Protein backbone atom coordinates (compact mmCIF):
# COMPACT_ATOMS: atom_id res chain seq x y z
CA UNK A 1 0.00 0.00 0.00
CA UNK A 2 0.84 3.69 0.12
CA UNK A 3 2.56 3.31 3.50
CA UNK A 4 5.54 1.31 2.19
CA UNK A 5 9.01 2.69 1.74
CA UNK A 6 9.26 2.00 -2.02
CA UNK A 7 12.99 1.44 -1.94
CA UNK A 8 13.78 4.52 0.13
CA UNK A 9 15.91 3.99 3.21
CA UNK A 10 13.50 5.87 5.45
CA UNK A 11 9.89 7.00 5.34
CA UNK A 12 11.13 10.53 5.84
CA UNK A 13 13.19 10.38 2.64
CA UNK A 14 10.29 8.85 0.74
CA UNK A 15 7.96 11.57 2.02
CA UNK A 16 10.38 14.34 1.07
CA UNK A 17 10.48 12.91 -2.46
CA UNK A 18 6.69 12.64 -2.58
CA UNK A 19 6.24 16.40 -2.40
CA UNK A 20 6.18 17.04 -6.17
CA UNK A 21 3.35 14.56 -6.56
CA UNK A 22 1.48 15.81 -3.47
CA UNK A 23 1.64 19.35 -4.86
CA UNK A 24 0.51 18.21 -8.32
CA UNK A 25 -2.43 16.32 -6.86
CA UNK A 26 -3.31 19.32 -4.71
CA UNK A 27 -3.52 21.51 -7.79
CA UNK A 28 -6.03 19.12 -9.34
CA UNK A 29 -7.94 18.79 -6.11
CA UNK A 30 -8.14 22.46 -5.07
CA UNK A 31 -8.85 23.92 -8.51
CA UNK A 32 -11.95 23.33 -10.57
CA UNK A 33 -12.09 24.47 -14.21
CA UNK A 34 -8.95 26.48 -13.54
CA UNK A 35 -10.52 28.39 -10.64
CA UNK A 36 -10.28 28.01 -6.87
CA UNK A 37 -12.51 25.17 -5.70
CA UNK A 38 -14.35 26.76 -2.76
CA UNK A 39 -15.85 23.48 -1.68
CA UNK A 40 -12.60 21.48 -1.50
CA UNK A 41 -11.00 24.47 0.24
CA UNK A 42 -13.61 24.41 3.01
CA UNK A 43 -14.90 27.91 2.27
CA UNK A 44 -18.56 27.11 1.59
CA UNK A 45 -19.42 25.99 5.11
CA UNK A 46 -18.05 29.13 6.77
CA UNK A 47 -19.98 32.34 7.33
CA UNK A 48 -17.24 34.60 5.96
CA UNK A 49 -19.09 37.90 6.24
CA UNK A 50 -19.28 37.57 10.01
CA UNK A 51 -15.57 37.07 10.56
CA UNK A 52 -13.78 39.98 12.20
CA UNK A 53 -10.57 38.31 13.32
CA UNK A 54 -8.68 35.06 13.03
CA UNK A 55 -6.77 32.93 15.54
CA UNK A 56 -4.59 30.10 14.27
CA UNK A 57 -3.76 27.35 16.77
CA UNK A 58 -1.41 24.41 16.28
CA UNK A 59 1.64 22.56 17.65
CA UNK A 60 5.08 21.74 16.29
CA UNK A 61 5.54 21.90 12.55
CA UNK A 62 1.84 22.67 12.05
CA UNK A 63 2.31 25.76 14.24
CA UNK A 64 5.13 26.91 11.97
CA UNK A 65 2.87 26.44 8.93
CA UNK A 66 0.30 28.59 10.76
CA UNK A 67 2.90 31.26 11.43
CA UNK A 68 3.66 31.39 7.74
CA UNK A 69 -0.07 31.48 7.01
CA UNK A 70 -0.30 34.81 8.83
CA UNK A 71 2.06 36.35 6.25
CA UNK A 72 -0.47 35.92 3.47
CA UNK A 73 -3.85 35.53 5.22
CA UNK A 74 -3.59 39.02 6.73
CA UNK A 75 -2.85 40.93 3.50
CA UNK A 76 -5.27 38.82 1.43
CA UNK A 77 -8.29 39.03 3.74
CA UNK A 78 -7.50 42.33 5.46
CA UNK A 79 -8.33 40.68 8.80
CA UNK A 80 -6.07 40.61 11.86
CA UNK A 81 -4.49 37.18 12.34
CA UNK A 82 -3.04 35.90 15.61
CA UNK A 83 -1.05 32.67 15.74
CA UNK A 84 -0.77 30.74 19.00
CA UNK A 85 0.75 27.53 20.21
CA UNK A 86 -2.27 25.43 21.13
CA UNK A 87 -0.78 24.64 24.54
CA UNK A 88 -0.78 28.39 25.30
CA UNK A 89 -4.06 29.32 23.63
CA UNK A 90 -6.06 26.81 25.64
CA UNK A 91 -5.08 28.37 28.97
CA UNK A 92 -4.38 32.05 28.42
CA UNK A 93 -7.94 33.37 28.04
CA UNK A 94 -7.39 34.70 24.51
CA UNK A 95 -9.53 37.42 22.96
CA UNK A 96 -12.43 35.76 21.14
CA UNK A 97 -15.66 37.19 19.76
CA UNK A 98 -18.90 35.22 19.99
CA UNK A 99 -21.58 34.66 17.34
CA UNK A 100 -19.00 33.41 14.88
CA UNK A 101 -17.18 36.71 14.64
CA UNK A 102 -13.85 35.12 15.54
CA UNK A 103 -12.64 32.33 13.29
CA UNK A 104 -10.33 29.82 14.95
CA UNK A 105 -8.22 27.80 12.54
CA UNK A 106 -6.55 24.58 13.67
CA UNK A 107 -3.69 23.20 11.61
CA UNK A 108 -3.05 19.53 12.33
CA UNK A 109 -1.68 16.70 10.25
CA UNK A 110 -3.10 13.95 12.47
CA UNK A 111 -6.21 15.75 13.67
CA UNK A 112 -5.62 14.21 17.10
CA UNK A 113 -3.18 16.53 18.89
CA UNK A 114 -4.55 16.99 22.42
CA UNK A 115 -3.72 20.67 22.89
CA UNK A 116 -5.06 21.64 19.47
CA UNK A 117 -8.29 19.75 20.09
CA UNK A 118 -8.67 21.32 23.55
CA UNK A 119 -8.19 24.79 22.01
CA UNK A 120 -11.02 24.10 19.57
CA UNK A 121 -13.36 22.94 22.33
CA UNK A 122 -12.61 26.14 24.16
CA UNK A 123 -13.22 28.22 21.03
CA UNK A 124 -16.47 26.41 20.35
CA UNK A 125 -17.73 27.23 23.85
CA UNK A 126 -16.80 30.86 23.25
CA UNK A 127 -19.00 30.90 20.14
CA UNK A 128 -16.28 31.09 17.47
CA UNK A 129 -16.44 29.55 14.02
CA UNK A 130 -14.07 26.58 13.76
CA UNK A 131 -12.11 25.73 10.65
CA UNK A 132 -9.38 23.14 10.37
CA UNK A 133 -6.67 22.16 7.94
CA UNK A 134 -6.25 18.50 8.53
CA UNK A 135 -4.79 15.43 6.82
CA UNK A 136 -7.02 12.78 8.41
CA UNK A 137 -10.72 12.60 7.67
CA UNK A 138 -13.00 11.75 10.63
CA UNK A 139 -10.21 12.60 13.08
CA UNK A 140 -11.30 14.34 16.28
CA UNK A 141 -10.29 17.76 14.93
CA UNK A 142 -12.12 17.18 11.64
CA UNK A 143 -15.26 16.18 13.55
CA UNK A 144 -15.34 19.14 15.93
CA UNK A 145 -14.83 21.67 13.12
CA UNK A 146 -17.60 23.60 11.34
CA UNK A 147 -15.55 23.18 8.19
CA UNK A 148 -12.45 21.12 7.34
CA UNK A 149 -10.01 21.48 4.51
CA UNK A 150 -8.74 17.95 3.98
CA UNK A 151 -5.15 18.25 2.84
CA UNK A 152 -5.09 15.04 0.82
CA UNK A 153 -1.33 14.68 1.33
CA UNK A 154 -1.52 10.90 1.89
CA UNK A 155 -0.36 9.18 5.09
CA UNK A 156 2.73 10.60 6.72
CA UNK A 157 4.68 7.99 8.68
CA UNK A 158 8.02 9.67 9.50
CA UNK A 159 7.78 11.38 12.89
CA UNK A 160 9.43 14.50 11.46
CA UNK A 161 6.81 16.16 9.30
CA UNK A 162 7.84 17.01 5.72
CA UNK A 163 5.19 16.66 3.04
CA UNK A 164 2.46 17.64 5.50
CA UNK A 165 4.29 20.92 6.14
CA UNK A 166 4.51 22.00 2.50
CA UNK A 167 0.94 20.82 1.96
CA UNK A 168 -0.24 22.90 4.94
CA UNK A 169 1.44 25.99 3.47
CA UNK A 170 -0.23 25.44 0.12
CA UNK A 171 -3.64 24.73 1.68
CA UNK A 172 -3.58 27.81 3.91
CA UNK A 173 -2.49 29.95 0.99
CA UNK A 174 -5.18 28.67 -1.41
CA UNK A 175 -7.80 28.95 1.33
CA UNK A 176 -6.80 32.57 1.97
CA UNK A 177 -7.13 33.32 -1.75
CA UNK A 178 -10.56 31.69 -1.89
CA UNK A 179 -11.62 33.66 1.20
CA UNK A 180 -10.36 36.91 -0.33
CA UNK A 181 -12.19 36.15 -3.58
CA UNK A 182 -15.45 35.51 -1.77
CA UNK A 183 -15.31 38.83 0.11
CA UNK A 184 -14.39 40.76 -3.03
CA UNK A 185 -10.70 41.26 -2.27
CA UNK A 186 -9.29 39.08 -5.04
CA UNK A 187 -10.08 40.12 -8.59
CA UNK A 188 -10.49 37.58 -11.43
CA UNK A 189 -7.16 38.89 -12.84
CA UNK A 190 -5.42 38.26 -9.54
CA UNK A 191 -6.93 34.80 -9.33
CA UNK A 192 -5.71 34.03 -12.87
CA UNK A 193 -2.23 35.26 -12.08
CA UNK A 194 -2.11 33.15 -8.93
CA UNK A 195 -3.35 29.99 -10.64
CA UNK A 196 -0.79 30.46 -13.42
CA UNK A 197 1.99 30.66 -10.86
CA UNK A 198 0.48 27.63 -9.15
CA UNK A 199 0.61 25.61 -12.36
CA UNK A 200 4.35 26.14 -12.63
CA UNK A 201 4.97 25.07 -9.02
CA UNK A 202 5.31 21.30 -9.75
CA UNK A 203 8.16 21.97 -12.19
CA UNK A 204 9.96 24.10 -9.64
CA UNK A 205 9.45 21.68 -6.79
CA UNK A 206 10.85 18.94 -9.01
CA UNK A 207 13.93 21.11 -9.58
CA UNK A 208 14.20 21.74 -5.83
CA UNK A 209 14.74 17.99 -5.41
CA UNK A 210 18.13 18.46 -7.09
CA UNK A 211 19.31 20.25 -3.96
CA UNK A 212 19.82 16.83 -2.37
CA UNK A 213 23.05 16.23 -4.32
CA UNK A 214 24.60 19.47 -3.09
CA UNK A 215 23.51 18.75 0.49
CA UNK A 216 25.28 15.39 0.37
CA UNK A 217 28.52 16.98 -0.84
CA UNK A 218 28.72 19.70 1.82
CA UNK A 219 27.59 18.02 5.04
CA UNK A 220 31.00 16.53 5.83
CA UNK A 221 32.09 20.01 6.89
CA UNK A 222 29.13 20.55 9.16
CA UNK A 223 27.57 17.40 10.56
CA UNK A 224 29.73 17.25 13.68
CA UNK A 225 28.79 20.76 14.84
CA UNK A 226 26.99 20.74 18.19
CA UNK A 227 25.00 23.89 17.33
CA UNK A 228 23.31 25.40 14.30
CA UNK A 229 21.61 28.73 13.73
CA UNK A 230 18.95 29.22 11.04
CA UNK A 231 17.98 32.71 9.92
CA UNK A 232 15.43 34.21 7.54
CA UNK A 233 13.28 37.29 7.04
CA UNK A 234 9.65 37.59 5.94
CA UNK A 235 8.22 34.22 4.87
CA UNK A 236 11.75 32.79 5.17
CA UNK A 237 11.61 33.36 8.94
CA UNK A 238 9.14 30.50 9.58
CA UNK A 239 11.22 28.37 7.21
CA UNK A 240 14.25 29.08 9.42
CA UNK A 241 12.23 27.92 12.44
CA UNK A 242 11.22 24.76 10.60
CA UNK A 243 14.81 24.11 9.50
CA UNK A 244 16.01 24.29 13.09
CA UNK A 245 13.13 22.15 14.34
CA UNK A 246 13.78 19.45 11.72
CA UNK A 247 17.48 19.34 12.55
CA UNK A 248 17.02 19.06 16.30
CA UNK A 249 14.23 16.48 16.03
CA UNK A 250 16.16 13.95 14.00
CA UNK A 251 19.88 14.68 14.45
CA UNK A 252 19.75 15.82 18.13
CA UNK A 253 21.92 18.81 17.24
CA UNK A 254 20.98 21.94 19.15
CA UNK A 255 19.54 24.33 16.59
CA UNK A 256 17.75 27.65 16.80
CA UNK A 257 15.70 29.46 14.21
CA UNK A 258 15.74 33.25 14.35
CA UNK A 259 14.31 36.17 12.45
CA UNK A 260 17.33 37.74 10.75
CA UNK A 261 16.45 41.12 12.22
CA UNK A 262 16.79 39.64 15.72
CA UNK A 263 20.39 38.47 15.19
CA UNK A 264 21.70 41.59 16.86
CA UNK A 265 19.38 41.06 19.82
CA UNK A 266 21.08 37.92 21.02
CA UNK A 267 22.17 35.08 18.79
CA UNK A 268 25.05 36.99 17.18
CA UNK A 269 26.81 36.58 20.54
CA UNK A 270 27.01 32.84 19.81
CA UNK A 271 28.70 33.25 16.44
CA UNK A 272 32.31 32.13 16.05
CA UNK A 273 34.14 29.89 13.59
CA UNK A 274 32.45 26.82 15.08
CA UNK A 275 28.91 28.01 14.36
CA UNK A 276 27.20 27.02 11.11
CA UNK A 277 24.47 29.47 10.10
CA UNK A 278 21.87 28.41 7.58
CA UNK A 279 20.55 31.52 5.82
CA UNK A 280 17.32 31.17 3.87
CA UNK A 281 17.85 33.87 1.25
CA UNK A 282 15.67 33.78 -1.86
CA UNK A 283 15.78 36.75 -4.25
CA UNK A 284 12.76 38.47 -2.74
CA UNK A 285 12.17 41.98 -1.39
CA UNK A 286 14.33 41.15 1.64
CA UNK A 287 17.35 39.97 -0.33
CA UNK A 288 19.67 42.94 0.33
CA UNK A 289 19.01 42.74 4.03
CA UNK A 290 19.67 38.99 3.99
CA UNK A 291 23.02 39.59 2.32
CA UNK A 292 24.03 42.14 4.96
CA UNK A 293 23.00 39.78 7.77
CA UNK A 294 25.18 37.08 6.22
CA UNK A 295 28.08 39.53 5.99
CA UNK A 296 27.63 40.32 9.69
CA UNK A 297 27.97 36.70 10.75
CA UNK A 298 30.81 36.04 8.32
CA UNK A 299 32.67 39.00 9.88
CA UNK A 300 32.48 37.01 13.15
CA UNK A 301 33.85 33.94 11.36
CA UNK A 302 30.53 32.08 11.26
CA UNK A 303 30.25 29.43 8.53
CA UNK A 304 27.30 30.24 6.29
CA UNK A 305 25.24 27.80 4.28
CA UNK A 306 23.01 29.89 2.02
CA UNK A 307 19.77 28.55 0.61
CA UNK A 308 18.99 30.46 -2.54
CA UNK A 309 19.20 30.65 -6.28
CA UNK A 310 22.34 29.08 -7.71
CA UNK A 311 22.72 32.01 -10.14
CA UNK A 312 22.67 34.48 -7.26
CA UNK A 313 26.22 35.84 -7.43
CA UNK A 314 25.81 38.10 -4.42
CA UNK A 315 24.76 35.17 -2.29
CA UNK A 316 27.51 32.92 -3.65
CA UNK A 317 30.06 35.61 -2.83
CA UNK A 318 29.16 35.85 0.87
CA UNK A 319 28.43 32.19 1.72
CA UNK A 320 30.77 29.29 2.41
CA UNK A 321 28.32 27.03 0.58
CA UNK A 322 25.06 27.59 -1.28
CA UNK A 323 22.39 24.93 -1.54
CA UNK A 324 20.56 25.73 -4.78
CA UNK A 325 16.84 26.38 -4.64
CA UNK A 326 14.60 27.44 -7.54
CA UNK A 327 13.41 31.05 -7.52
CA UNK A 328 9.78 32.10 -8.09
CA UNK A 329 7.86 35.37 -7.65
CA UNK A 330 5.07 34.12 -5.41
CA UNK A 331 6.25 34.31 -1.76
CA UNK A 332 4.06 31.42 -0.56
CA UNK A 333 5.36 29.17 -3.32
CA UNK A 334 8.91 30.32 -2.62
CA UNK A 335 8.46 29.25 1.01
CA UNK A 336 7.38 25.80 -0.15
CA UNK A 337 10.48 25.57 -2.36
CA UNK A 338 12.83 26.76 0.40
CA UNK A 339 11.48 23.97 2.62
CA UNK A 340 12.99 21.24 0.45
CA UNK A 341 16.71 21.99 1.04
CA UNK A 342 16.21 22.35 4.82
CA UNK A 343 14.51 18.95 4.89
CA UNK A 344 17.38 17.32 2.98
CA UNK A 345 19.93 19.05 5.20
CA UNK A 346 18.35 17.71 8.40
CA UNK A 347 17.84 14.27 6.91
CA UNK A 348 21.36 13.74 5.58
CA UNK A 349 23.03 15.15 8.70
CA UNK A 350 20.93 12.80 10.84
CA UNK A 351 21.78 9.80 8.65
CA UNK A 352 25.46 10.71 8.84
CA UNK A 353 25.22 10.89 12.62
CA UNK A 354 23.52 7.50 12.68
CA UNK A 355 20.30 8.44 14.45
CA UNK A 356 16.96 6.70 14.03
CA UNK A 357 15.48 9.13 11.52
CA UNK A 358 11.93 7.76 11.35
CA UNK A 359 11.58 7.17 15.09
CA UNK A 360 13.64 9.82 16.88
CA UNK A 361 14.08 9.31 20.60
CA UNK A 362 11.44 10.76 22.94
CA UNK A 363 9.19 11.96 20.10
CA UNK A 364 5.79 10.73 18.93
CA UNK A 365 4.08 11.25 15.59
CA UNK A 366 0.96 12.40 17.28
CA UNK A 367 0.82 13.83 20.80
CA UNK A 368 -2.61 12.77 22.04
CA UNK A 369 -1.96 13.47 25.73
CA UNK A 370 -1.03 16.76 27.34
Distance from C-alpha of 221 to C-alpha of 321, rounded to nearest angstrom: 10
Distance from C-alpha of 230 to C-alpha of 289, rounded to nearest angstrom: 15
Tell me if 148 sits within 8 A of 140, measured CB to CB.
no
- Binding stretches for ligand G6P (CB under 6 A): 59-62, 108-110, 113, 116, 159-161, 363, 365-367
Nearer to ligand G6P, 134 or 281 (CB): 134
Q: Report the run of H or E that residue 302 belongs to, with start and end.
A: none
- Name the minimum Å distance from CB 12 to ligand G6P: 11
DSSP state of 7: T
Nearer to ligand G6P, 140 or 330 (CB): 140
| Count of CB atoms situated within 10 Å of the CB of 266 | 10
Distance from C-alpha of 164 to C-alpha of 158, rounded to nearest angstrom: 11
The closest residue (CB) to ligand G6P is: 60
Nearer to ligand G6P, 294 or 349 (CB): 349
Nearer to ligand G6P, 119 or 290 (CB): 119
Nearer to ligand G6P, 48 or 114 (CB): 114
Nearer to ligand G6P, 117 or 322 (CB): 117
- Name the minimum Å distance from CB 76 to ligand G6P: 23
- Name the minimum Å distance from CB 242 to ligand G6P: 10
- Name the minimum Å distance from CB 365 to ligand G6P: 6
Convert 26-60 to b/e letters by CB count within 10 Å (16 or more is b): beebbbeeeebbbebbbbeebebeebebbbbbbbb
314: annotated active-site residue: no
Contacts 24+ apart (CB under 8 A), 298-302: 300/268, 300/271, 300/272, 301/271, 301/272, 301/273, 302/229, 302/271, 302/272, 302/273, 302/275, 302/276, 302/277
Catalytic residue among 185, 289, 352, 365: 365
- Name the minimum Å distance from CB 120 to ligand G6P: 11
Please calculate the CA angle 65-68-74 and round it to the nearest 5 degrees.
130
Tell me if 304 sits within 8 A of 317, measured CB to CB.
no
Evaluate the CA torsion angle 231, 235, 241, 242 in order and state its sign. Answer: negative
- Name the minimum Å distance from CB 43 to ligand G6P: 22
Which of the residues are catalytic?
365
Amino acid sequence: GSAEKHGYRHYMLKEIHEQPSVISHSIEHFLKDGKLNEEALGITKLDLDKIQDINIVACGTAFIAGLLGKYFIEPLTGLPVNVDLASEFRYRNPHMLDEGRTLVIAVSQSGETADTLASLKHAKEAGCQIFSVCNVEYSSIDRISDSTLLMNAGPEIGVASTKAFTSQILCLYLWANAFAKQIGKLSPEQENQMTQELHSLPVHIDLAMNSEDKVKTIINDYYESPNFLYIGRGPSYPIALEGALKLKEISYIHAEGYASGELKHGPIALVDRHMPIVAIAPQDEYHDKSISNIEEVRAREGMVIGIGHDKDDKLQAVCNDVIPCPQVNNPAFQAILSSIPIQFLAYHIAVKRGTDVDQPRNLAKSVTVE
